[in-house]
Every structure is written in C-alpha cells, then in structure tokens.
C-alpha cells in the first residue's frame, strides 16, 4: 500500500468548509434558475412553432430546453448526440448497512441512505454511457444530490467518469473527471480560480478501479480483467480518494490486492433471476468483498464477506432494473 499526495494547482491555503445549509440554498437557487430558463426556452419554442406552423420546431426546441435543465451544472446534450444514442437499460442501486448506525465509508466521510439511479445508453462505435444521480446524507440528515456521467467500452469497462459534485475543500472546483488510461489514473478538477484546481496522475501496474468514493461500475470493470480460473489470482489495484483537510484537499491511496473468479451461480436481484459471474477481491486495510455481475457486465451486488451468517449485512445491491430489446 502506498499513499500519494496530489499535485495542487496552487498553494495550500487554510480555506474553510462551506456550511451545508448554504450549499442547500445554493442548489435550490441553481434549480430555480434552471427551471426559469426552461420556461423561457419553452415559451420561445412555442412562439416559433406558432409562427412557423411546425410541430417539429416545438419538439426539437423542448428537447434542447429539457436537456439544459436536466444536465444542471454540466453541458447540455446536443440534439445530434441525443439522436445518435439509444437507451438500453436503467436501474437503481442502494447501500445496505445494518451495522455501524447505518454509516458507510471512511471515518469523517461517512454516508447514509445511499441511492444511485442510472440510465445506460449505447452510443457511437458500440460503446456505452451511464448517466446517473446519487442521493445520500452526509452527515446524517444533510441531503446531497450528485450527478455523474461514465463512459464505458463495448464490454462495459469504465474509461472515463465525471462527477459534478464540488470538492469538500475547494469551493470553486468541479466537475471532477477521472480517465482510466492503460497504465494511469488521471483525475482533474477545474475551477474559475486556477489555485483551486486539482490535478492527479497516478501510475498503475495492474487492472484498477475506484473503491472510494462509491463507484460500482468502476469496481465491476475490474472483473473483466480476471482469469476465469478458480485456482488463479489476478493482481489488481484499487484507489481510495479521500478529502481530509483544507491543506490536503485530496488524498489518494493505492491498495494492491487480488481478485479471484469463484464460478457462476444463480442470483436474485431487482426482483429478477440472473445467472451471474461471482468474484472475490481483497486489498489491505479492507475486508474481503464479493461481487456478482451479469453476463453483459452489469453489476448486480457487492457485499462484505463476514466470518459468520449472523453478522449485520453491508454492501450494495441492485434493487431496480429494466432493459430494452436492444440490450
């Protein structure tokens, strides 16, 4: 295990943590502005539709306006990009934590009542995109809503992830984008003030994914690199990215571990029956995990393996899933 300090885009400063109430008011204000923008754009579209006597003008304009509001702090999806992608699946994950008072995650960054809803799109060249939203409390009773976008290869291996949440100690940051390169994890967070920018370049030697913050598609991607041999271990690396303080706003840790294929078994998830691939993985300072994926590569469940059956359940599971015939 080795710990890396990030390259900061400016000098360390003391900073201060924004109050969660202020964050909530800011989000509410942004949502009101986006809603107002949608109404203005929609009204303009209806006016043009009447003048031009064109239903297609109205439909296209409303699609653009709706995309602007839905994308929030990210860039709007262009009409051409909308036309060149196909929705193939959607679902929802929840974290189950029956112990530890419902808290999940490292000390100081615990989350509660985690839900992740997502939509899977097929895009150009047979690749995929996942658009999703994470809802949780941190600390308890303080709600957060964070949007994310993941780009995936043909076999649903993550190649790029963008998180639209701001960093805890960088008020002007965001979005945070991580690229999964063949031998490097490259993460950057822009900001209007260059001193607020974050840049990480982490060299990797083995198949890797992100363990923290929660990234279930990233973890399941690692299983695509495993040998389908029950007697063979695959070396892997998992990265945790914590935000400990204003003087160390981002602290990545690389955990060297192993992944093992355990065979196929029947599993029930999201009220459906699956014939799933089962794996286990272990990294230092963490318990052993079990993960199941579908034959297509959809993560179905991730659980902490405990020494006896009566141990409180903890992990993540798929609770809702729907797919279209194209998938």
Q: Alpha helix (H) ranges present in the chain? A: 20-52, 55-71, 79-83, 216-223
pLDDT at 5 exceeding the cut of 90: no
d(CA 206, CA 222): 10
CA distances (Å), origin 57, targets 43, 70, 81, 82, 269: 12, 20, 18, 16, 42
Domain that residue 270 falls in: 2-323
Q: 304 pLDDT exceeds 70?
A: yes
Question: In this model, does residue 246 exceed pLDDT 70?
Answer: yes
Which tokens hold the place of 15? 């900073």
Whole-number average pLDDT of the chain: 80
Residue 25 has pLDDT above 50, yes or no: no
Residues near 146 by Cβ (< 8 Å), separated by ≥ 6? 133, 134, 163, 164, 165
Q: Using the predicted structure, report yes or no on whether residue 258 has a pLDDT greater than 50.
A: yes
Q: So what's the pLDDT on residue 292?
A: 98
Domain count, the chain: 1
Is the pLDDT at 253 greater than 70, yes or no?
yes
Residue 60 has pLDDT above 60, yes or no: no
In the chain, the percentage of residues whose pLDDT exceeds 90 is 56
* Confidence category of residue 291, pLDDT binned at 50, 70, 90: very high
Yes or no: say if 289 and 302 are a contact pair by the CB < 8 Å rule. yes
Summarize pLDDT for 139-153 with one digit per residue, the tens: 999 999 999 999 999
Task: For 26-47, give the DSSP string.
Answer: HHHHHHHHHHHHHHHHHHHHHH
Buried b / exposed e over 294-313, threshold 16 CB at 10 Å, is beebbbbbbbbeeeeeeeee
CB atoms within 10 A of CB 111: 20
**What pLDDT score was predicted for residue 79?**
59
Closest CA to 17 of 131, 112, 123, 108: 108
| Overall average pLDDT of the 83-95 stretch | 94
Burial of residue 148, with CB atoms counted within 10 A of its CB: 0-12 exposed, 13-18 middle, 19 or more buried: buried
Distance CA 306, CA 2 (A): 26
**DSSP 8-state class, residue 139:** S
E-assigned strands of the chain? 2-3, 7-8, 86-97, 112-122, 128-137, 143-152, 158-163, 173-181, 184-191, 198-203, 208-212, 233-242, 251-269, 272-282, 289-293, 299-304, 314-323
52: phi > 0 → left, psi -120 to 50 → alpha, else beta; which? alpha
* C-alpha to C-alpha distance for 240 and 262, rounded to whole angstroms: 25
Q: Give me the pLDDT at residue 18, please.
A: 31
pLDDT at 302: 96
pLDDT average, residue stretch 289-315: 90
Task: Give pLDDT, residue 227.
Answer: 82
Query: Which comes out higher in pLDDT, residue 46 or 93?
Result: 93
Backbone angles phi, psi at 163, to 5 degrees: -105, 125
In this prediction, residue 100 carries a pLDDT of 86
Return the closest-CA partner of residue 217 out of 136, 289, 283, 298: 298
């Amino acid at each position: 295990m080795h710990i890396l300090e990030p390259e900061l885009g400016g000098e360390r400063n003391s900073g201060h943590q924004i109050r969660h109430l202020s964050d909530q008011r800011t989000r509410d204000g942004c949502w009101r502005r986006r809603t107002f923008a949608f109404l203005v754009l929609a009204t303009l579209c209806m006016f043009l539709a009447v003048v031009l006597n064109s239903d297609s003008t109205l439909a296209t304009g409303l699609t653009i306006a709706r995309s602007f509001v839905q994308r929030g702090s990210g860039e709007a999806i262009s009409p051409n990009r909308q036309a060149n992608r196909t929705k193939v699946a959607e679902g929802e994950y929840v974290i189950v934590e029956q112990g530890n008072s419902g808290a999940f995650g490292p000390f100081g960054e615990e989350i509660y009542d985690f839900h992740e809803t997502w939509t899977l799109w097929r895009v150009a060249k047979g690749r995929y995109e996942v658009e999703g939203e994470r809802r949780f409390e941190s600390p308890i009773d303080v709600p957060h809503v964070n949007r994310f976008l993941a780009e995936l290869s043909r076999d649903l291996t993550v190649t790029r992830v963008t998180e639209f949440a701001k960093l805890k100690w960088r008020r002007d940051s965001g979005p945070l984008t991580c690229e999964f390169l063949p031998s490097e994890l490259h993460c950057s967070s822009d900001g209007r003030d260059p001193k607020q920018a974050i840049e990480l370049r982490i060299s990797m030697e083995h198949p890797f994914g992100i363990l923290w913050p929660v990234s279930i598609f990233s973890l399941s991607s690692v299983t695509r690199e495993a040998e389908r041999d029950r007697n063979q271990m695959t070396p892997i690396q998992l990265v945790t990215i914590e935000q400990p303080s204003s003087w160390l706003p981002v602290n990545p840790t690389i955990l060297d571990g192993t992944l093992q294929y355990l065979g196929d078994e029947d599993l029930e998830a999201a009220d459906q029956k699956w014939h799933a691939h089962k794996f286990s993985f272990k990294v230092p300072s963490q318990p052993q995990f079990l993960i199941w994926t579908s034959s297509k590569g959809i993560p179905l469940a991730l659980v902490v393996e405990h020494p006896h059956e009566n141990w409180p359940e903890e992990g993540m599971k798929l609770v809702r899933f729907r797919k279209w015939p194209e998938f």
